[in-house]
Structures are given as structure tokens and as C-alpha cells.
Amino acid sequence: MKIRLIVVILIFTASLANAQEIQTLFGKGNSTSGYGALSNKFTTINGTYANLSEVYGGVFINRRWMVGMGFAASTNDIRVPQQHSVNPLIPMTYQYGQGGLMLERVIKSNRSIHLVVNLFSGVGFTAQYNRPEWGDWDDFDTYTTTHDENWFYVLEPGAQLEMNLFRWLRLSPGISYRNTYGSEGRGLSDNDLSNWSYNITLKFGGFGKRNRIKHSTEVISN
């Protein structure tokens, strides 16, 4: 009877410890105070495809909340229509960027696949510039001069389906909707800038504490 009671207690204790471990696809978790993320977003601006590269990160609190900062900018040639160009004689490109507060709520972070909802709140800007060709970067100052600088407020809620690849690495494909308020750029109203974004994100850092179970080699006897 005594042996059975001890076995039951050990099994119960082990199950509680295992319940606290981070489940991953290729390993188990560790603990730290925060993480960073690299993301690429696929969206449209003024009806034209826009590729946005984003970096964000912050403090991860109680394996539930991430509070930090985020920054994103367009990387491709978003051509300005001639009727909205500051210089119709040369091809001009729209530059888009945003920066501000980033919040994430991670739901059941310990599970290998789980849900994340997030919210970006900050300032956005657009400008027009003459984007150089690959062989024209020698005249850097000429090509990086911006025109029609435009500032506005951005609110972007989103959601991700997150996968724990390793205890320090997560893959998070997701979707978000970018809302802008107060844009007055040439050819860029709030309606032109507000749109869906589809993104793929890699997160690096620590996401929780792993509890190790010590296995005893001693034999319990009566």
C-alpha cells in the first residue's frame, strides 16, 4: 500500500511539472525576459503591391504579454502616378514607414502551436523620391532627397498562428489590417494607405521557463 501511494504521488508530481513545460516541434523551452522579431509584410499601397520589412521586440511578461516597440518600411519600387508626382519629368517612388508601440497577447504560449493577437499604435509617414537603379548609387545624395513628406497616425491590429520551433525560435505567419488617420500626401489618402497585410515572422529570444524532472535511481521498498 505504501509503495502504491508513493508511485501515485510521483506520477502526479511529474504530470504537474510536464504541464508547465513549453511544448515545441523540435525541442523544449527556456526562460528569459523578452524577444525580438523580424517580419516581412505583403500588402498594397494606393492599389500597388508593397513589401514592408518590419522589426519589433520588447519585454515578455508572464508568458502572456509582450510590450515593446516596432518599426517598418517599404523596400520595393512603389511608383507614383504621374498626376500625383512632384516631378512628372522623372519617375518617382513612394516611401512608406511607421514606428511606435507594439503589444502582443500570446494565448497558451507553452503549446507547440498557439494563437497571438497584436496591436501596433504609432506614427506613419510617406514621401516621394527618385529611386536609383542598381548602377546609380554613386550619386547617393541626389537620389535620396525626399519630397511631399506626409505624417499621420497608424493603428494596426493583427493575429498570428504561432509555432514553437525551438525554445528560442518561433515561426508566426499572420494577418493584420493597417488603419491610417490624417494622411494628406499627394495621391495618398487614408483610404489609399489602409489595407490588409499578410506577414511571415520569425521571433528570437526566450518564451518561458522549463521545469526539469529529476529521475531517482533509488529503489523504494518496504
Task: Look at the domain 2-205 and name its fold.
Answer: Porin (2.40.160)
102-116 confidence digits (pLDDT tens): 999 999 998 999 999
3-46 confidence digits (pLDDT tens): 444 444 444 444 434 444 566 665 554 455 699 999 999 999 99
Instruction: Please list, in sequence order, all residues whose beta carbon lies within 8 angstroms of the beta carbon of residue 155, skipping any fewer than 6 positions away.
Output: 119, 120, 121, 179, 181
State what percent of residues in the chain have pLDDT above 70: 73
- Residues β-bridged to residue 101: 69, 121
Report the distance separating Cα 1 and Cα 13, nearest Å.
19
